[in-house]
Each structure stands twice: as C-alpha cells, then as structure tokens.
Amino acid sequence: MNVLEPIMLQGLASVMWPLCRIAACLMAFFIFGGTTVPMRVRALLALTLTVCMLPSIPALPVTPQLFSLDGFLTTISQVLIGAGIGFMTQFLAQSFVMAGQAVAMQTGLGFASMVDPVSGTNAPVVGQFFTVLTTLVFLALDGHLVFLRLLLLSFTTLPIGPQIFSPSELSYIFYFGVTMFQCALAMAISAICTMLVVNFTFGVMTRAAPQLNVFSMGFSVSMVAGLLVLWYCLGAFMGNFTSAINATMESTCSLIGTSCEGLW
C-alpha cells in the first residue's frame, strides 16, 4: 500500500489540477458561466474537456504533494489562471451589453427590460438583443473553440505549479477594461449624437412655439428615431465585433504568454 500511494496521488494530481483550471475557465466564460447553464452540465463539460485534453497536457515536471501547502497553492493558482482566461470573454460580452444599454437609454427604449440570463438582474431589451447577437456570432465564428485552444496552450506557457500570472501579464486584465469601454462607446456614439440632435431640435421647437405639446409628440418621435438609429447601428455591428474580438484575442494571448498567429 505504501508503494501504491505515491502512484495514486500522482495520477490524482495529474487529473485534479487540469480539471481545476478548465472548470474555472468555464465558470468565468460568458457562454457557459451564465445561470442558464446548469451546474451539473458545466461540471460534466469540464470533466469531458479534461479527459480530452489530458493527452496533450505536458507532464508535471515536479509534482508537489497534493495534500500539502504547495499542493494547496497549486490548486489556487490553477483556479486563478483558468478564471483569468475565461474572464477575458466577459469583457467582450459586457462591451456590447453596455452599448445596448446606452442606446436604449438615449432612444427611450430603456423602459422595456427583462431579466438578464447571465447576471440575473433586469436589463434593457436592447442590451439583451446585443447579448444574444454577440453570442450567436461568437459561436458561429468558432470563438469558443479558439479559447479552448488557448486554454490548452496555457498548460505549456504556464505549467502546472504554484506560480501565477506575473504583474506584467496580470496588467492585461485591468487595462483591457479600457478596451471594453472603447468598444461600447464606438457602438453607441452614433445613437448618442443622433438623439442629442433630436432632443436639441425639440428644445428649439418648444422655445419657438410654446403652445406645442412636446411631451406627447416628442416621445413618439424619439421612439421612431430610436428604432431608426438602432437599425443603422446594426450595420456597424460586425465591424465593432471584429475589433472587439481581435482585441480580446490579443489580450488573452499576451496574458498567457503566447502568440495569436494561426489561432483564428
């Protein structure tokens, strides 16, 4: 029994730590990490991906004791690495959610809201529309397969051990928030400027003809103008999505210390 115990712990560690990284990535992934995906389905998917990736994962150079301080630190580091990779996809999704919310608030469509299946809170329907559209385009372009490949590459660039992201690599997560706001602003700036002109026009009309009931007429005109603005915003969706997904890929590759060439 004393001879078999190290072999059993070695085999358990070679499965346990990759499973922790893959499960943490799926937990933070914007498609699989939502409340719409049951926890059992997510756990089975993580176990299936671990079994499929095990032959391609490099062998552990030095295996610390699983039930020791080094083993505990290694488990925590695998969870943080996987969550960091999956968290990058949240920036991609939230940039379009923020753009949809900005468009909804400016066009008067913000009163129509529904429960967000990802966060579980009420959100404007326009934001939900952009979320569904982003998810469908992301899946159609095999973005989930690209990120799973990056997750597999992370086992080579960031071997299993107690180490974690360096400060320079960790900074990519924080600075990518700037890119998220840039993508949201690029998507919503046309609606903001258009509705500013519409509201300014109604302000001039109210000043020139106070007898006009702007509150009854302006709301309907703003709704129609908002629908037209939303229609024209959809024409620029693919361009904004391409810029956002390229920025997400570059930041994720820099985070794990690899090159993005040949991945997309």
Cα–Cα dist 84/179, whole Å: 16
Q: Is the pLDDT of residue 120 over 70?
A: no
User: Facing residues of 113 across strands?
Assistant: 124
Residue 125 token pair = 């329907």
Q: Give the model confidence (pLDDT) of 63-95 as tens digits.
A: 556 677 777 888 888 888 888 888 888 888 888
Q: How far apart are CA 204 and CA 211, in angstroms?
A: 13
pLDDT band at 213 (very low <50, low <70, confident <90, very high): low
State the maximum Cα–Cα separation within the chain, in Å, rounded to a whole number: 94
Q: Among positive and negative, which fits the CA dihedral 35, 37, 42, 43?
A: positive
Q: How confident is the model at residue 101 (pLDDT cuts 50, 70, 90)?
A: confident
For residues 41 and 215, which has the higher predicted lDDT (pLDDT)? 41
Nearest by Cα to 144 from 43, 64, 45:
45
Report the chain's C-alpha Rg in angstroms. Answer: 24
Q: pTM for this one?
A: 0.79
CA distance 229 to 212: 25
The C-alpha atoms of residue 159 and residue 143 are separated, in whole angstroms, by 24
Helix (H, G, I), strand (E, B) or coil at 65: coil
The beta-carbon contacts of 143-148 under 8 Å, at least 24 apart in sequence, are 143/245, 144/29, 144/31, 146/249, 146/263, 146/264, 147/25, 147/29, 147/85, 147/86, 147/89, 147/252, 148/49
